[in-house]
Amino acid sequence: MKAIHLGILGAVLLGVASLSIAGEIDVMTQNQYIGADLQIGATASTPKEADDAVVAMLTTIAKTRPAERVRALAAEIAHRNPDVVGLQEAFEFKCLPDTEHGFPPLPGRGCDDPLIKDALTDHLQDTEEALRRKYVVAGQVTNLKVSPIFFHVRDYSAVLSITDRDAILVRKHLSKSARVVTFNCPARSDNGCNYETAPPTFTPPLGPPIVLKRGFVAIDVTIEGREYRVFNTHLEQRELAPGQCATQIYQVGQAYELLDRALSTWNRWDGLSKTVIVVGDINSGPKDTICSALPPTLPGKPTLPVLTPYQIFTSHGFTDAWTLRSHPDVGFTCCQDPDLSNKQSDLTERIDMIFSLHRPSQVRDMNLLGNTSPGSDGLWPSDHAALAGTLKFHSPLHPVHIERY
């Protein structure tokens, strides 16, 4: 990765068509939440321990009623009616009977067992259906795919696969102008890129390898004549395990990779070519600090200081759109209790963001969704609140000059 230097030029650059068009975009970010910690027997030492871990995870997820939660989350989108939505943790849990080992599918057995059946959903497909196809998936990236996971449910054998995706939805009438941005990245994933910076692959003694490579996806979309480039991501969490703060280095490296791709939208000679927006769960907020165990610069990148992801974006020209409006609360977006059954909101962090590389001339509204009370079933729709805002841009814009060296 090349070092990045950002300088704001005071003069207005002429001749770039998108600079002459004022515009407005309503954008939203929503973490859909898996419903439990991902436990697939990674520490199991016996087949029974592995089985018990998988069944316990699926049982816990089933109790959070993911299909109902997805419909509630889709209702948030439908009510807001944003132009573009970034989804994170759009999981798919797929289960098949283990017919290869002589276990034919039986009603109420194996994958159809009432203990786990409600966990076997596809969040992304369910979201599209709940929105009645008024939104389309413009692009997606797969962060995790674990398969095959052989397990037993009350003596019946089954095979599980788990896929975690981030996706960008656009309103159907915008889909003709929306196109995936293809980057020259070393690890393509669906329509997006996986980050090079990632935890090492872990292979449990009784299961398939676990490769968690988070990523990003970006689209170009034209709204009322103005061109936008919207990125969606879910950066790695600060600590991969309690007390392991040094693993924060993974999200730091990922943030720099995303920053480099986002800044590549700016042409070195011509200035601004599109209005650049980054949304997602960046697992970092304005009050974060760096773990004392980390080095001062990114390993192998001595020109890149180790900063939190929030600091990386806001120190390189991005505006945290939430800060452009006064709010009655502090904007916490994370996190409700893991089982989502808490009666009062437990949100204590602001880690879901809408960043804009060009400072909006106005933020007409910026709201949290799903943060005030649980649903009628007593469960919160996600452990995160969603964030949505209407950003207004006037023209002409002042271009930003990027030097890479």
- Position 45 scores a pLDDT of 81
- Position 7 scores a pLDDT of 31
- Position 272 scores a pLDDT of 57
HEC string for 141-210: EEEEEEEEEEEEECCEEEEEEEEEEEEEEEEHHHCCCCEECCCCCCCEECCEEECCCCCCCECCCCCCCE
pLDDT at 399 over 50: no
Question: How long a stretch of residues is the chain?
Answer: 405
pLDDT at 12 over 50: no
Place of tokens 């293809």: 182
HSE value, Cβ hemisphere, 13 Å, CA-based, for 61: 30
Is residue 60 within 8 A of residue 40, CB to CB? The reply is no
pLDDT tens digits along 168-190 = 999 999 999 999 999 988 899 99
Q: What is the mean pLDDT of residues 341-346?
A: 95
* Structure confidence at residue 102 as a pLDDT band (50, 70, 90): low
Q: What is the mean pLDDT of residues 328-349?
A: 93
Residue 234: its H or E element: strand 226-234
pTM of the model: 0.90
- Position 120 scores a pLDDT of 96
Residue bearing the bigger pLDDT, 136 or 97: 136
Residue bearing the bigger pLDDT, 401 or 258: 258
Mean of all residue pLDDT scores within the chain: 87
Q: What is the mean pLDDT of residues 76-96?
A: 97
pLDDT at 315 over 60: yes
Identify the weakest region by mean pLDDT among 4-13, 211-220, 278-287: 4-13
Angle among Cα 334, 386, 144 to the nearest 5 degrees reads 75
- Position 327 scores a pLDDT of 74
Report how far apart the first and last C-alpha atoms of the chain are (Å, whole number).
10
Laid out side by side, the sheet with 362-369 consists of 135-153, 156-171, 84-97, 23-31, 386-393, 362-369
Q: What is the mean pLDDT of residues 252-258?
A: 97
Is residue 365 within 8 A of residue 323, CB to CB? The reply is no
* Structure confidence at residue 265 as a pLDDT band (50, 70, 90): confident
The full set of domain ranges for the chain reads 4-36+82-90+166-404
Percent of the chain with pLDDT over 70: 87
For residue 240, which phi and psi values (nearest 5 degrees)? -75, -20
The token pair that represents 359 in the structure block:
């400072």
- Position 15 scores a pLDDT of 34
Burial of 32 (0-12, 13-18, 19+ CB in 10 A): buried
Q: Indicate the CATH number for domain 4-36+82-90+166-404.
A: 3.60.10.10
List Cα–Cα distances, 363 to 26, 273, 333, 359, 390, in angstroms: 10, 21, 19, 10, 6
- Position 69 scores a pLDDT of 96
- Position 196 scores a pLDDT of 95
Rounded to an integer, what distance in angstroms lies between the CA atom of residue 123 and that of residue 32? Answer: 8
Buried b (16+ CB within 10 A) or exposed e, 162-188: bbbbbbbbbbeebeeebebbeeebeee
Identify the weakest region by mean pLDDT among 34-43, 72-81, 217-226: 34-43
Instruction: Using DSSP bridges, classify how beta strands 400-404 and 319-320 pair: parallel, antiparallel or unpaired.
Output: unpaired
For residue 126, which phi and psi values (nearest 5 degrees)? -65, -35
Contacts for 344 with CB less than 8 Å, ≥ 6 apart: none
